[in-house]
Amino acid sequence: MFRGLMQKIKEIEGLSVTCVVDNYYDALRGDPPCGKRFRTKPSLSLYAEHGLSLYVVVNSGVHSHSLLFDFGVDGEVLLHNLHLLGIDPKTLDALVLSHGHFDHYGGLLGMLEKLGPMLIPFYVGRGTFTRRFSDIRGEGLTDLGRLERERLERKGVKIEEIGSECEILKGVYLTGQIAMKTTYEKIPESLFVEKEGNLERDDFLEERAMFFSVKGKGLIILSGCAHRGIVNTVKQIVELAGIQKVHAILGGFHLISGNEESILMAVEEINTFFPSYIIPMHCTGFEACLAFSQIMGENFILNTVGTTYSF
């Protein structure tokens, strides 16, 4: 059993999720059944990069609130796309980071440098502010850097480190540590973290996913990268929420490092939740997107930067 949430999570009236940063942009693709694409005009084109950022607006009835979930790599890209999409970051109620990799936090400091101090809560999992490394191709370690807590605090950001699942705004929930229960979802052996001066395999204990219960729809789940497994993430959220109906799953699923067998197992198990929409992004990988498309048919949506999904 997972502990920490109330008996029943709060339903919200509606939710919109706009993809501000992702790896892929296509101005000609048709609108999805649950959303609308951004259309390029002369001198007005969105940027794509290897990163992820989602703008979330929650309608809880009388009130609404907004937040950014992850921030991409580059502050200029983030601010450019926010501007074209008509999103004012100064109106945000919260900032949330899924985990401590630069392609998710990189744009935050650039944004704060341009905007100046923001007295705003910033939610992260414990262990986020550590230096990361990778050795993806066996060519030696690459220093991936670390998010500097001190720089954020100088910008007025109020850091809230989350140990267990919790509600951060009305109807907005974050997981605690994701339990790894499947046998086929593995953290890549090429990723490392520095602890007390030593390098260890990264276990991503700090990684958090976000979820909502939308009235008449069911669960909406947002994942940054799902290093600890997208199936593990969805299973844990279903148990935490006590809600079996999964309406939509959006974000990075980190299946890009999986083999054909593990990808198919993950896709088939996600399909057992019968989500109305599966919207993979960022680190999911072409092979996994293809498998989702083939197995889940019209429930699969190919994401492009600038798409707003409404639930």
Parse the chain into domains and list their residue ranges. 11-310
Cβ pair 146, 179 in contact under 8 A: no
pLDDT at position 117: 85
What CA–CA distance (Å, rounded) separates 309 from 311?
7
pLDDT value, residue 5: 53
Kindly report the average pLDDT of the chain as a whole number.
Answer: 94
Helix (H) or strand (E) holding 261: helix 260-271
pLDDT band for position 4 (cuts 50, 70, 90): very low
Query: Which pLDDT value is given to residue 123?
Result: 98
Whole-prediction pTM: 0.95
What does the pLDDT read at residue 7?
59
Q: Is 241 helix (H, G, I), strand (E, B) or coil?
A: helix
Q: How do residues 195-239 score in pLDDT, each as one tens digit?
A: 988 999 999 999 999 999 999 999 999 999 999 999 999 999 999
Residue 104 has a pLDDT of 98
Q: What is the pLDDT of residue 3?
A: 45
| pLDDT tens by residue, 50-79 | 999 999 999 988 889 999 999 999 999 999
Q: Which CATH class is domain 11-310?
A: alpha beta
Q: Is 126 strand, coil or helix?
A: coil
Please state the rounded mean pLDDT for residues 12-34.
97
pLDDT at 1 over 50: no
What pLDDT is attached to residue 210? 98
What local confidence, expressed as pLDDT, does residue 29 receive? 95
Q: Which residue has the tokens 């101005």?
A: 27
pLDDT tens across 252-302, in order? Answer: 999 998 999 999 999 999 999 999 999 999 999 999 999 999 999 999 999
What Rg value do the Cα atoms of the chain yield, rounded? 18
Contact 147, 128 (CB under 8 A): yes
Question: What percent of the chain lies above the pLDDT cut of 90?
Answer: 90
Are the beta carbons of 2 and 239 closer than 8 angstroms? yes
CA dihedral over 91, 115, 84, 122, signed as positive or negative: negative
CA neighbor of 283 nearest in space, from 73, 139, 13 = 73
- Cβ neighbours of residue 228 under 8 Å, at least 6 residues apart? 178, 179, 180, 185, 187, 204, 207
Residue % of the chain over a pLDDT of 70: 98
| Overall average pLDDT of the 12-23 stretch | 98
Residue 126 CB partners (closer than 8 Å, separation 6+):
161, 162, 163, 205, 206
